[in-house]
Amino acid sequence: MNTAFLNGKDSPLNGASKLSYKGLEMFPYHRACLLNGQSLNLTKTEFSILQVLMENLGHTVSVREMSDRIWNDAVYINRKDSVAVHIHHLREKMDDTLKPLNYVKTVWGVGYMLEKEENL
């Protein structure tokens, strides 16, 4: 993805809805995501997971809720491991695998979240 397009004066993204968190910028309408100005190459599922977390900043999203919002299919609702695998890949792509994690936090036995910080 051409990041100049995203930041350009004539970009159709100017004024479009954008989600931001700790150097992470997401443009849901265009399915584009930048981390510290660099494009993230996310799968559809990874993008959807990150979007759900960004839309619920500061709140834990249960695995069941995330499965329902992403796949809307009863087959996936009971497949907790599927969400965990996608979260793992998302963390790798964001270079966020060392503790303490900077982005996606695990709330053990419940789900995942992006912690809301007062300084953002």
* CATH code of 46's domain: 1.10.10.10
| pLDDT average, residue stretch 72-100 | 81
**Token output for 110:** 């419940």
Higher pLDDT, 63 or 9: 63
Residue 40 falls inside a structural domain: yes
In DSSP notation, 20-36 reads EETTEEEEGGGTEEEET
pLDDT digits (tens, 9 = 90+) for 43-79: 999 999 999 999 999 999 998 898 888 887 666 555 6
Contacts of 109 (CB under 8 A, 6+ apart): none
pLDDT at 9 over 50: no
Give CA–CA dist 50/111, Å, rounded.
13
pTM of the full predicted structure?
0.80
- Backbone dihedral angles phi then psi of residue 35, each to the nearest 5 degrees: -125, 115
- Residue 92, domain extent: 3-109
**Token output for 81:** 């491991």
The count of domains in the chain is 1
Residue type at 89 in one-letter notation: H
| pLDDT value, residue 49 | 95
